[in-house]
Amino acid sequence: MIAVLKNTATKEQISSLISWFENKGLKVNESKGEYCTVLGLIGDTSTIDINLLQGLDIIESVTRVSETFKKANRKFHPEDTVVDVAGVKIGGGNFAVIAGPCSVENEEQIMSAARAVKAAGATILRGGAFKPRTSPYDFQGLHEEGIRLLLEAKKETGLPICSEIMSPEQIPVFEDVDFLQVGARNMQNFDLLKALGKTGKPILLKRGLSATIKELLMSAEYIMSEGNPNVILCERGIRTYETYTRNTFDVSAISVLKQITHLPVVGDPSHATGKANLIKPMSMAAVVSGADALEIEVHCNPEKALSDAAQQLTPAQFTEVMEAIGKARSIL
Amino acid sequence: MIAVLKNTATKEQISSLISWFENKGLKVNESKGEYCTVLGLIGDTSTIDINLLQGLDIIESVTRVSETFKKANRKFHPEDTVVDVAGVKIGGGNFAVIAGPCSVENEEQIMSAARAVKAAGATILRGGAFKPRTSPYDFQGLHEEGIRLLLEAKKETGLPICSEIMSPEQIPVFEDVDFLQVGARNMQNFDLLKALGKTGKPILLKRGLSATIKELLMSAEYIMSEGNPNVILCERGIRTYETYTRNTFDVSAISVLKQITHLPVVGDPSHATGKANLIKPMSMAAVVSGADALEIEVHCNPEKALSDAAQQLTPAQFTEVMEAIGKARSIL
Amino acid sequence: MIAVLKNTATKEQISSLISWFENKGLKVNESKGEYCTVLGLIGDTSTIDINLLQGLDIIESVTRVSETFKKANRKFHPEDTVVDVAGVKIGGGNFAVIAGPCSVENEEQIMSAARAVKAAGATILRGGAFKPRTSPYDFQGLHEEGIRLLLEAKKETGLPICSEIMSPEQIPVFEDVDFLQVGARNMQNFDLLKALGKTGKPILLKRGLSATIKELLMSAEYIMSEGNPNVILCERGIRTYETYTRNTFDVSAISVLKQITHLPVVGDPSHATGKANLIKPMSMAAVVSGADALEIEVHCNPEKALSDAAQQLTPAQFTEVMEAIGKARSIL
Amino acid sequence: MIAVLKNTATKEQISSLISWFENKGLKVNESKGEYCTVLGLIGDTSTIDINLLQGLDIIESVTRVSETFKKANRKFHPEDTVVDVAGVKIGGGNFAVIAGPCSVENEEQIMSAARAVKAAGATILRGGAFKPRTSPYDFQGLHEEGIRLLLEAKKETGLPICSEIMSPEQIPVFEDVDFLQVGARNMQNFDLLKALGKTGKPILLKRGLSATIKELLMSAEYIMSEGNPNVILCERGIRTYETYTRNTFDVSAISVLKQITHLPVVGDPSHATGKANLIKPMSMAAVVSGADALEIEVHCNPEKALSDAAQQLTPAQFTEVMEAIGKARSIL
């Protein structure tokens, strides 16, 4: 950690600050410049509150040099982590496609979707049972019944299942769910992360709407520091001013994550763009950026007036996307 | 709700969509323009998933016309709500100042802070016992012991106490806490909001780092729709590109909220700016924008090397800020 | 255009507003809902100031339905535009790579760079002679001398040249430059756009740092409405909160642009990411998103201590990127 | 400037980099930590391209310590600058109100507006003659005729006039204009800034839509470094995700600017919020934040159907706002 002091700082203030650092067990390297004094702090600075320092009158700036993410850091763990989701491996060259409807609606819907995505080559089935909605008046999901239907679909198709968990109290309900998703809004619900850290289950951790890559990794640390190494990160679009797409798919974040962490990385073009006609190019873009898996929404309900036009792909469109994904994988 | 259809939409697609709306109990008003067809939907559109509609191929745009927030809406509840926090009223002309340290550290610290803020005119004591931190390796607060110390401080000073709650399981621990704060990161932790909606306690709901005013109000709806009308909203800075301040204090949001909702609104210049030397002008700015209360961090620990320079004000500085607040109130 | 009126609007206010629209030659379609009145405006609404309307007390919201971009709109011009840059075609299936150093520094540097990028397969040479810099104290480029050196490099290699123009007065200096770049900071320098619209030359229009797709298209309209159809759009990264990359490369904007406009689209991974080690994956991502060309910074100065490590690729790295681009193109 | 090197940097790379810095005339202070090496650079680092350094493979991070703004920096010029706009002083305790219509429309309109704002206490008249519009199809202003009408209004009322200039070629047209405004879109139109730096005229420099405070100050440096010290900075709202207001009025930027620069600072609540009913609270908020002046749009055209409801205040509303401003000034 490097603290730059203003040139208005008095000798007394500087030595008082140095003593404070030394009491925290840090070695302090002082260097006086023409306009400022720079303190280099060596040792374990993770106990230093950077916000507190930045608020000091005598401080010009404070920069952390060593990354604060430890367990997720590729520096200390150079090989790729491979997470095993009920037999389906993700990471380290193993590629997976997680597909299915946004929400579980009823038995027929989830069964037909499960069959369709399996036929097209998906390896994990997704479906929401507990839905985080901006409005309390919107549909919140089928809850326990949704999980039960997903397990039915797993029994028939053999596909492992992935569903979103919103609260530590729901953990018992998710006992047989293979892959637990933490949604973007809960990326910093630290009590949930800690509780999931105690389960040992594969966790799909989605980046918050305006979270930085570093904040995403620090949330992964919450899960990992409780003993669960099975964390998979997911880029699902960030909030920007652009309105043609629901969010902006930050594919360079996928490349960056592959460089700085050993954890597998998933791209979710469905939530990132909100448009069915962008899923094919954005799936390919995520693959060439290094994604270890994709999460894609697929719906299959030909009798419903809306289904074939929605943001969710039809099975036929999904099959086309799977072919494009295959081509993109072939050139890496 | 208004749906604009692309001019590529066929007659069959349009009538299929109209039937779908009518099956949901809505009246549909069709209007054909030169370049598009516009459908005006009349009735209760809260069950319509706007994202689903926006994803349809034939849809150009969808706009909600009637606000989706009902219980917080000033249109349906023109008088100001007044929330009673253990005898301290907020809203409807009643102004409060919530002050105290960021975290409860030990008995002496919280006691001296409580006495100091009371002496300067604060009416509610704040202090964090459960701290949401980006890193799992940072100090997470004293937990139950912190709450116990706050209650001690309340006993001595008579000030109602305010502290952040992070999870539904903590509700029993907060039984005697007068005012429960939901932090910015938990603004869309819907399970927490619903659980707090069942308590009836005054809730201080902080705006998320990149949340819109509407999203903040929808989160208030989660609490209110469970039966708890005692919601107080808090503007505490939003994430922007500016780096001189920790966040950007959106004081116009305070004015907007006072216009569109009857709930009381609090300004938090401490978290918004992260700089002690901006608290005085930003407190005044929040007051003239219409704030019903301010939340300000005050620390009082003269023996600690860092205390007098930190982002948290000293009691002496806080006294000065209280005078400025008084002046700003005097001109409204 | 659709105007939604508040339910507080009086009959007189509504009919006064309707008259005002009718005086502007619009047909007005009124539709009364339970909570509001909706006016559909049919005709040429391009003369209506949407900001003025939005500021009216009786207005709830105003939405433009027909796109305000006309000449760039694919609806009215379904076939791809192909721009000819001194014999190199871009768009309509013609792919180009624009490569070269950030700035022209001296004869040897630009000559060796020109030879190197040509050898690796680039089809247009880039180099900055007039540099827009945040600080007036930073290097501003070689100006006329830089242009002269680019023309030398063109003479030797035969590559058309591309360079940034910052002001209408510089147009004579750019007489022999084949491809004029408008930088992100000048995307809304409307006097420059209009002056370039009169030249007929191919223009590379870069998206502003926080500009929307629509604003980029409206700036293209400024050039096109003066009679110059040779506009090529460039996605070069937008400002977000992420700090690992200099900006965020919005590759979905490339796909969206290909859908809604007939103009060619270029991706610039160098400026978007600021990191040499992200150019390869991001070049591929841009290609699979539909880009008609890429702009990549290449430097070639082995004797300089810094050159091989900088954000600018070495010729060897660029050759590798060109291979990856070729592979990505092969699967489309 | 402080450069932190990765622990993968070899000795050769480090000494090569140090030599490069020393060749640029800098003194280099090396400090080895456990995880990294830190180089402190002492001397004039303004010639170092920070982007180039950040792109180096061996660099972890680079931070500028001394501010790059020199002429605008309060450190080197502690007293407030007072700018004299044709007899009206701004800064150093001198407060001004710049008011008038968004655009000059015709003689009667600008004359009545000028009389009205003077009567209410405004000290400078504003009015747009050259209008930067997102669309080329929107009204672009009356141009020379608009300037002529402003000069008429000045002759009658004695108020100095302020109007936006968009291009260096327009400088002759603005010869008799007292106060030249650079709009947000042109904040980094460096050729315009340099040309204005040669005029010596008072310049009102508006912050770009997503510009940082530092970027605004660097643009002021462009004007000042050409010899013109008469720069006044203007906060006019920044782009955020909030949609209730047109932009977000960053009033804490006003307080920050007053601390770090000696230049006068203006707040523009009209453009920042886009809502007439927010002008009063936001004007007061700007004043208590330390603004030296306000710019407010006022329109006065009772015969036009729209005028009384628009974002622009009526003279009666403006008079009320002036009273509120007076009260806010009285408590400082």
pLDDT averaged over 10-residue windows placed end to end, chain A, 332 residues: 82 87 85 73 76 76 77 92 98 97 90 95 96 86 96 98 97 98 97 97 97 96 97 97 92 97 97 91 98 92 46 86 98 95
Same domain, yes or no: B177 and B100:
yes
Largest Cα separation within chain A, whole Å, is 78
Task: Select the more confidently predicted residue: D66 or A223.
Answer: A223
Same domain, yes or no: A185 and A325:
yes
Q: What mean pLDDT do residues D145-159 have?
A: 98
Q: State both tokens at B81.
A: 């709500």
pLDDT at position A11 is 87
Which of A9-18, B279-288, C317-326 is least confident?
A9-18
Q: How far is A228 from chain D (nearest CA, A)?
A: 26
The answer to whether residue B69 is domain-embedded is no
SS (H, E, C) chain A: CEEEECCCCCHHHHHHHHHHHHHCCCEEEEEECCCCEEEEEECCHHHCCHHHHHCCCCEEEEECCCCCCCCCEHHHCCCCCCEEECCEEEECCECEEEEECCECCCHHHHHHHHHHHHHHCCCEEECECCCCCCCCCCCCCCCHHHHHHHHHHHHHHCCCEEEECCCHHHHHHHCCCCEEEECHHHCCCHHHHHHHHCCCCCEEEECCCCCCHHHHHHHHHHHHCCCCCCEEEEECCECCCCCCCCCECCHHHHHHHHHHECCCEEECHHHHHCCHHHHHHHHHHHHHCCCCEEEEEECCCCCCCCHHHCCCECHHHHHHHHHHHHHHHHCC
Q: Which residues of D touch C167 (CB under 8 A)?
A: 168, 191-192
CATH number, domain at A53?
A: 3.30.70.1140
What is d(CA A83, CA A91) in angstroms, rounded to the nearest whole number? 7
Ranges assigned E (strand) in chain C: 2-5, 27-32, 37-42, 59-63, 83-85, 88-90, 96-100, 124-126, 161-164, 179-182, 203-206, 231-235, 265-267, 293-297
What is d(CA D32, CA A31) in angstroms, rounded to the nearest whole number? 12
Which of D16, D133, D191 minimises the CB distance to C166? Answer: D191
Same domain, yes or no: B100 and B151:
yes
Same domain, yes or no: C133 and C111:
yes
pLDDT at position A152 is 98
What is d(CA D133, CA D141) in angstroms, rounded to the nearest whole number? 10
- Give the residue from chain B lying closest to A103, CA to CA: B52
What is d(CA D256, CA D258) in angstroms, rounded to the nearest whole number? 5
Same domain, yes or no: D127 and D255:
yes
pLDDT at position B312 is 72
Q: What mean pLDDT do residues C252-274 have?
A: 96
Q: What mean pLDDT do residues D92-108 have?
A: 94
Q: Tell me the pLDDT band of D75, cut-offs 50, 70 and 90.
A: confident
Q: State both tokens at A231.
A: 């964390």
Same domain, yes or no: A284 and A232:
yes
The tokens 């016992």 sit on which residue?
B129
Is the Cβ pair C65, B66 closer than 8 Å? no
pLDDT for residue C262 is more than 90: yes
What is d(CA D204, CA D231) in angstroms, rounded to the nearest whole number? 6
Q: What is the pLDDT of residues B207-265, one digit of tens each?
A: 999 999 999 999 999 999 999 999 999 999 999 999 889 899 999 999 999 999 999 99
pLDDT for residue B308 is more than 90: no
Neighbours of A241 (CB within 10 A): 18
Average pLDDT, chain C: 90
pLDDT for residue C30 is more than 70: yes
pLDDT for residue C303 is more than 70: no
At which of D34, D63, D92 does a domain end? Answer: D63
Greatest mean pLDDT range, C50-64, C209-223, D134-148: C209-223
The answer to whether residue A158 is domain-embedded is yes
pLDDT at position D20 is 84
Q: What mean pLDDT do residues D187-206 have?
A: 97
The answer to whether residue B225 is domain-embedded is yes
Is the Cβ pair A311, B55 closer than 8 Å? yes
pLDDT for residue D310 is more than 90: no
Is the Cβ pair C65, B63 closer than 8 Å? no
- Give the residue from chain A lying closest to B186, CA to CA: A189
pLDDT for residue D172 is more than 90: yes
Residue A317 amino acid letter: Q
Which of A109-123, B115-129, C42-56, D282-296 is least confident?
C42-56
The answer to whether residue C68 is domain-embedded is no
The answer to whether residue A68 is domain-embedded is no
Return left, alpha or beta for B90; rule: phi > 0 is left, psi -120 to 50 is alpha, else beta. beta
Q: Which of D60, D188, D246 to mutate to test the interface with C (most CBs of C within 10 A)?
A: D188
Give chains near D: 3+ CB pairs under 8 A.
A, B, C
The answer to whether residue B68 is domain-embedded is no
Is the Cβ pair D66, A35 closer than 8 Å? yes
SS (H, E, C) chain D: CEEEECCCCCHHHHHHHHHHHHHCCCEEEEEECCCCEEEEEECCHHHCCHHHHHCCCCEEEEECCCCCCCCCEHHHCCCCCCEEECCEEEECCECEEEEECCECCCHHHHHHHHHHHHHHCCCEEECECCCCCCCCCCCCCCCHHHHHHHHHHHHHHCCCEEEECCCHHHHHHHCCCCEEEECHHHCCCHHHHHHHHCCCCCEEEECCCCCCHHHHHHHHHHHHCCCCCCEEEEECCECCCCCCCCCECCHHHHHHHHHHECCCEEECHHHHHCCHHHHHHHHHHHHHCCCCEEEEEECCCCCCCCHHHCCCECHHHHHHHHHHHHHHHHCC
Q: What mean pLDDT do residues D40-60 have?
A: 76
Q: What are phi and psi of D121, to 5 degrees?
A: 115, 0
Neighbours of A93 (CB within 10 A): 9
Q: Tell me the pLDDT band of C235, cut-offs 50, 70 and 90.
A: very high
**What ipTM does the predicted assembly reach?**
0.90
- Give the residue from chain A lying closest to B190, CA to CA: A132
What is d(CA B217, CA B234) in angstroms, rounded to the nearest whole number? 11
DSSP designation for C213: H
Q: State both tokens at C14.
A: 């509504």
Same domain, yes or no: A47 and A178:
no
Cβ-in-10-Å burial (0-12, 13-18, 19+) of D78 comes to exposed
Same domain, yes or no: C183 and C153:
yes
CA-wise closest residue to A83 among A19, A178, A170, A175:
A178
Task: Select the more confidently predicted residue: B35 or D38.
Answer: D38
Is the Cβ pair B20, A306 closer than 8 Å? yes
Q: Tell me the pLDDT band of D304, cut-offs 50, 70 and 90.
A: low
pTM, two decimals, is: 0.90
How do beta strands A83-85 and B231-235 pair? Answer: unpaired
CATH number, domain at A108?
A: 3.20.20.70
Task: Select the more confidently predicted residue: D57 or D191.
Answer: D191
Task: Select the more confidently predicted residue: D318 or A301.
Answer: D318
Q: What is the pLDDT of residues C124-138, one digit of tens each?
A: 999 999 999 888 988
Cβ-in-10-Å burial (0-12, 13-18, 19+) of B35 comes to middle
Q: Which of D27, D35, D38, D76 to mutate to test the interface with A (most CBs of A within 10 A)?
A: D38
pLDDT for residue C66 is more than 70: no
Q: What is the pLDDT of residues B37-54, one digit of tens each?
A: 778 887 777 777 777 787
Q: Which residues of B touch D253 (CB under 8 A)?
A: 242, 244-245, 248
What is d(CA A124, CA A114) in angstroms, rounded to the nearest whole number? 9
pLDDT at position D311 is 59
What is d(CA D144, CA D130) in angstroms, rounded to the nearest whole number? 8
Is the Cβ pair C252, A241 closer than 8 Å? no
Q: Tell me the pLDDT band of B5, cut-offs 50, 70 and 90.
A: confident
Same domain, yes or no: A143 and A281:
yes
What residues make up the domain containing C55? Answer: 2-63
The answer to whether residue A272 is domain-embedded is yes
Q: Which residues of C touch D209 (CB under 8 A)?
A: 210
Same domain, yes or no: D48 and D86:
no
Distances (CA, A) of D226 to B299, C143, D181, D213: 47, 18, 17, 21
pLDDT at position A66 is 67
Q: What is the CA radius of gyration of chain A?
A: 23
Same domain, yes or no: A53 and A159:
no
* 3-class state of residue C233 by DSSP: strand
pLDDT for residue B35 is more than 70: no
Interface of D with B (CB under 8 A): 210, 212-214, 238, 240-245, 248-253, 255-256, 259-260, 272-273, 277-278, 281-282, 284-285, 288-290, 324, 327-328, 330-331
Residue B147 CB partners (closer than 8 Å, separation 6+): B129, B163, B173, B174, B176, B177
Q: How far is A94 from chain D (nearest CA, A)?
A: 29
The answer to whether residue A156 is domain-embedded is yes
pLDDT for residue B192 is more than 90: yes
At which of A16, A42, A63 does a domain end? Answer: A63
Neighbours of D212 (CB within 10 A): 19
pLDDT for residue C220 is more than 60: yes
At which of A24, A43, A63 does a domain end? Answer: A63
The tokens 């002690």 sit on which residue?
B276
Number of structural domains, chain B? Answer: 2
Q: How far is B69 from chain C (nearest CA, A)?
A: 14
Same domain, yes or no: A152 and A198:
yes
Q: Which of A31, A65, A209 to mutate to test the interface with D (most CBs of D within 10 A)?
A: A65
